[in-house]
Structure 1
Amino acid sequence: MKKRIFLLPLVFLMSCQDFLNQEPQTALTQEQVFSKLENIDPLITGLYTSWRNARKDRGGFMFQLGGDESQQGAFQVKSEPDQAGLDRYDGFLAPRNNALTQQWDMRWPIVTAAAKAILALQTNKEDENRRNQLLGEASFIWAAVCFELTQYWGDIPVIDAGKIAELGTGRKPLPMVYDYLVRYLQFAADHLPESQTDKRRVTKYAAMALLGKVYLYAPQAAGVRDYQKAADQFQKVIQSGKYSLVPKYADLFDPGKANSTESLYEFQFTNTYPDNNQTQWQMGSRALASVDGNCSFGGYDLMVPTAYAYSDVTKGGVWETGDTRKDASIRYDFTYKGEAPKLLSGFGGDELDPHVKKFEDPRTQGTMSFWYSGKNIFYLRYADVLLCYAECLNELNRTSEAVTIVNDQIRNRAFGGAIPASLKWASGISQDDFRTKMLDERMRELAFEGWRRMDLIRSGKFVSLIKARNNWAAQSNTIQEFHMRYPIPLTEILQNEEIPPSAQNPGYQQ
């Protein structure tokens, strides 16, 4: 089997079972290296780079396919069966699916490296404050990646380098997984600084926000879903006074205005390889790519909005008249140098349908290939914190307060600072109506930023909304409830004796 090797020194990975047993490949032993904080710091920096790189190019958007918000372009569906299975929910969405295997393989080395750093830092005897900050950063990254993995695959291995003999590398029940998530994020929240000069590094408020999300998004089976605890974490972020919505929504996606007052954490990219994000290569229109490889909105249609995500309410979609987030999020006009491009024959025919706009990098226009797109990509931002807090208040029977937050902050900004009276949410709406409205509001505010699949899973609307809104899922008509979890990759089952075929997620056959 192909080795899974990650780009941090001292750590090499073969499979979930043996990735903690590799010997250091340097002149120094692992114990010697980890005895000095000055040696551990570069490893933490490497963790950030590996985590960031797992969220760029296709890796950043593969999990967004197959939703009610985004799907593949037609040519992508025609040309790549494994990838197409993520939208079609057909026989190609199986343990042998290479597109999912790549994402699984990309993330476990990060978890393993973080686990080794956590163990080393727990025993380090140097500067306690500095050690705890580094430990908080390693704990945050471990938790962030494992939160993503457990949301999509369910039971996952718990990689604790100090307990590998006890825990092994088999799948662990959700209560154990989420117990680790909560403990690691609480430690991070307690020991990370309030701000970081190096924007690559996380703060205590990012840890609080993610901990709030863990309490809010946890499946009931995990035993930790708690709206009050989630609200408490979000409220700490809000009351810190360190964050605020930027006045103009479109400014969030201006590369000249990165790391704004709305950003709790964003992945840092540039237009120079290897720090470019390659995102536009996947998001833009093939019709424009054929005209000019330096067109900033060219690309290859990997992920495009569903008709629901780009259409107005009057046409069965999500957008209300006057919402400025619409044109900031989605490209409708493909006029280039005064001319309308033409569709190419032999492709999908949807290359000039609306496309994702948020990731376009105008700095590449006319000077370099759109492959070099390098805008920062949001992970956590303040608007999401406000929306999550409002959800918690609604679940705690404080719906009128939740409505006020959404109206006065999120929707007011969306309509240019003055929301029309007819579009304000009524303070007396029911708890269930609020839930329904919030699903659409999160799509409008956070479109294509990576939370939609999780939102559908936790809302219980995964099958119904995808079947109704995703063109490819509707055509195949094979999506079922078990598809909320991805199949454990066959390569993992073959290499890891602690994850046998019988441990596969229900509904999938080898």
Structure 2
Amino acid sequence: MRFQKYIAVLAVTTISLTLDSCKESLDIPAQGALSDQVLATRSGVDALLNGAYAALDGQFNNGGALNLAGTNAWEASPSNWVYGSIAGGDAHKGSDGSDQPAIDAIAKFTSDASNGFFNSKWRVLYEGVNRTNSVLRVLAQTTEVTEAERASFAAQARFLRGHYYFELKKMWNNVPWIDETVETAAASYVSNTEDIWPKIEADFKFAMDNLPATQQDVGRVNKWAAATYLAKTHLYQKEYAEAKPLFDQVINQGVTSNGLKYALVTKFHDNFNAATENNSESVFQIQMVANDGTNTIANANQGDMLNFPYGNSPFRCCGFFQPSHDLANSYRTDETGLPIVESYNNQPVKNDQGVASNQPFTTDAGPLDPRIDWTIGRRGIPYLDWGNHPGADWVRSPGQTYAGPYSPKKNIYMQATQDLYADQHSWAPGTAINWNVIRFADVLLMAAEVEAQLGNLEQAQTYVNQVRARAANPVNYVYTYANPANPLAGYTNTPAANYKISVYPAGAFSQMGKEGALRAIYFERKLELAMEGHRFFDLVRWDIAEPTLNAYFNYEGTLTTDVRGGRFIRGKNEYFPIPQRQLDLSRSGGNSVLSQNPGYN
């Protein structure tokens, strides 16, 4: 039995038996039907730890499209498709204006603390925190484990707690630190005025020092995932000298939980295919499983269930998460195959917006980075093995005017293996495609950023070129179908577009200087990690969110109606508002213990 199926079936049942009531404010459950003493066995601790892993996907209650007493699954998706990609300009909400309008407000930075999406995300992340704390509390009372087992249990729990708090920190910055020493009754009254970065560091450092390099179960975290997350934590704090030796170790010595030396996989799409997951690029993946016997999609990437082409598509629902024009244009390359970092929107990729599917359309003939067609579904290009994307017939908005002409692609299952890796036990699809929290290309680009910040421009270029060289391998071109009427029959050797991509020539970063090299690295992250939930958080930590997103609104608003009126305000919108529900429930003596983030009062 695969590890993710084990945690889905065993741990959720265990949690429902042992943690049956919640403090609504922070979702810190009181002791339930079974006492800590009863659970203080090796099997009890293991079950609680499995529950802490199970919380990673954010979907854990009644097994339907809702969790945590009415929270919509997509509001707390671990992919951060709303908070990282849509808020970062990678994508539009999609669908139409009447469906999930709270996302439009997040995309345009017009939300206030009453937006229910923020409360859902907060509650789900603190549920994960609570489960890790439960492991640590019960573990302290357990005598049925060896010291090695005790260290492993604690290290896994603290890694997971570090992850949940990292998510909370980058979303809201000012959040309360609740650990295993805080009594349930007191959890709602911990303030959010303490900087929790040092405590996140401590959790990842403990995990790095106490986890093995490999695990019997591929879904469990290892030493090198912890080292990577610790390096990332330093990077977010601009502690480049502290991050560098960690990245050096990870790149030179790191292996996956199943013992594969960290390396870029040859085929870019293998990172987004359930048949090739847990590969050499997998640093930290959230394990997904389809058709697990529960007759639900709760463990099948339910948080992204809305994000499939609509209309006459074979996916049934729901037309959300449409890549932006700005993102598509970013894949334009110059005559040498290098990206057009500053003025890519001046050479837009030809698209079919406003052209009906039964009308003629010719795809763009200019040079493009091939990653565009593993990231964005566009008319006339093979949509994996589902046939050529037909354009408007797969887009929900009439005329494609609301959110543009494009469809998401990295989250889509293959037609040939849908019986194994798609899950149709709900009104929208689930998939067995694991979610990459950190993959090795991300590591290389974070390391490149650190090297550039420290003045090591040649090394920074080497890391970026590794990523670009993989993309330039012809195996990463999208090829046309041998028989368009039967895509499953295979492909020709004719590329579907004019793909032209190259590595930076020797000395390029040195000639650019530090600032130019950093711009190139930032843009490479946009290209490589598009639609993976990173963009908004990257823009914020680089302190370029205001100019970048306001330029996005000015450009994209001329093409679609959904983001018109969007505006990013420096000093406010770097972080989301503390949910109003949490402020209300943390009141003591008539005042909220939690402080609202600047600009939202």
Tell me the TM-score range normalised by the shorter chain.
0.7 to 0.9
Deviates more, 1:236-245 or 1:315-324: 315-324
Q: Is the 8 A contact 2:39 2:138 kept in 1?
A: no
Superimposed CA distance per residue, residues 28-57 of structure 1 (whole angstroms, 9 cap, x where no aligned partner): x213312x1221001111111111235974
The aligned amino acid for 2:412 is E
Separation in structure 2 between the aligned mates of residue 170 and residue 48 of structure 1, nearest angstrom: 25
Shift of 1:210: 0.6
Deviates more, 1:138-147 or 1:276-285: 276-285
1:10 aligns with 2:15: no
Match of 1:24 in 2: 32
Separation in structure 2 between the aligned mates of residue 449 and residue 339 of structure 1, nearest angstrom: 21
Shift of 1:156: 0.6
Separation in structure 1 between the aligned mates of residue 594 and residue 107 of structure 2, nearest angstrom: 26
Q: Is the 8 A contact 1:264 1:382 kept in 2?
A: yes
Match of 2:118 in 1: 100
Shift of 1:134: 0.8
Which of the numbers 177, 186, 195 marks the counterpart of 2:214? 195
**TM-score (ref. length: structure 2):** 0.74
Listed as ranges, the gaps of 5+ residues in structure 1 are 219-224
Q: Is the 8 A contact 1:249 1:324 kept in 2?
A: no
Shift of 1:71: 2.6
Q: How many residues end up aligned between the 2 structures?
A: 484
Deviates more, 1:117-126 or 1:393-402: 117-126
Separation in structure 2 between the aligned mates of residue 174 and residue 114 of structure 1, nearest angstrom: 20
Which of the numbers 75, 84, 87 marks the counterpart of 1:66? 87
Relative distance call for 1:198 and 1:398 in structure 2 (3 A) is same
Which of the numbers 236, 239, 263 marks the counterpart of 2:249? 236
1:508 aligns with 2:587: no
Shift of 1:159: 0.6
Relative distance call for 1:82 and 1:322 in structure 2 (3 A) is closer
Shift of 1:318: 9.6
1:456 aligns with 2:539: yes
Separation in structure 1 between the aligned mates of residue 22 and residue 222 of structure 2, nearest angstrom: 29
Which of the numbers 298, 311, 332 marks the counterpart of 1:274? 298
Q: Is the 8 A contact 1:309 1:317 kept in 2?
A: no
Shift of 1:303: 1.6
Separation in structure 1 between the aligned mates of residue 304 and residue 277 of structure 2, nearest angstrom: 17
Separation in structure 1 between the aligned mates of residue 473 and residue 318 of structure 2, nearest angstrom: 32
Superimposed CA distance per residue, residues 308-358 of structure 1 (whole angstroms, 9 cap, x where no aligned partner): 111224544799945232211111137876793636676864577122210
Match of 2:99 in 1: 79
Match of 1:42 in 2: 47
1:227 aligns with 2:240: yes
Relative distance call for 1:419 and 1:122 in structure 2 (3 A) is farther
1:486 aligns with 2:510: no
1:364 aligns with 2:418: yes
Match of 2:509 in 1: 427
Superimposed CA distance per residue, residues 228-273 of structure 1 (whole angstroms, 9 cap, x where no aligned partner): 2111211111121521111121222222111111111211112223
More strand by share: 2
Separation in structure 1 between the aligned mates of residue 462 and residue 523 of structure 2, nearest angstrom: 17
**TM-score (ref. length: structure 1):** 0.86
Which of the numbers 484, 490, 496 marks the counterpart of 2:586? 496
Match of 1:88 in 2: 108
Separation in structure 1 between the aligned mates of residue 236 and residue 128 of structure 2, nearest angstrom: 22
Which of the numbers 198, 213, 222 marks the counterpart of 1:179? 198
Which of the numbers 432, 444, 457 marks the counterpart of 1:374? 432
Superimposed CA distance per residue, residues 189-244 of structure 1 (whole angstroms, 9 cap, x where no aligned partner): 011111123122111111111111111013xxxxxx41121112111111215211
Separation in structure 1 between the aligned mates of residue 245 and residue 569 of structure 2, nearest angstrom: 35
Deviates more, 1:166-175 or 1:250-259: 166-175
Shift of 1:119: 2.9
Deviates more, 1:478-487 or 1:60-69: 60-69
The aligned amino acid for 2:534 is W
Relative distance call for 1:17 and 1:444 in structure 2 (3 A) is closer
Which of the numbers 323, 326, 338 marks the counterpart of 2:369? 323
Relative distance call for 1:318 and 1:139 in structure 2 (3 A) is farther
Separation in structure 1 between the aligned mates of residue 15 and residue 440 of structure 2, nearest angstrom: 31
Relative distance call for 1:427 and 1:462 in structure 2 (3 A) is closer
Deviates more, 1:177-186 or 1:323-332: 323-332
What's the RMSD between the two structures over aligned residues? Answer: 3.1
Separation in structure 1 between the aligned mates of residue 230 and residue 126 of structure 2, nearest angstrom: 21
Query: Percent of counterpart pairs with the same letter?
Result: 22
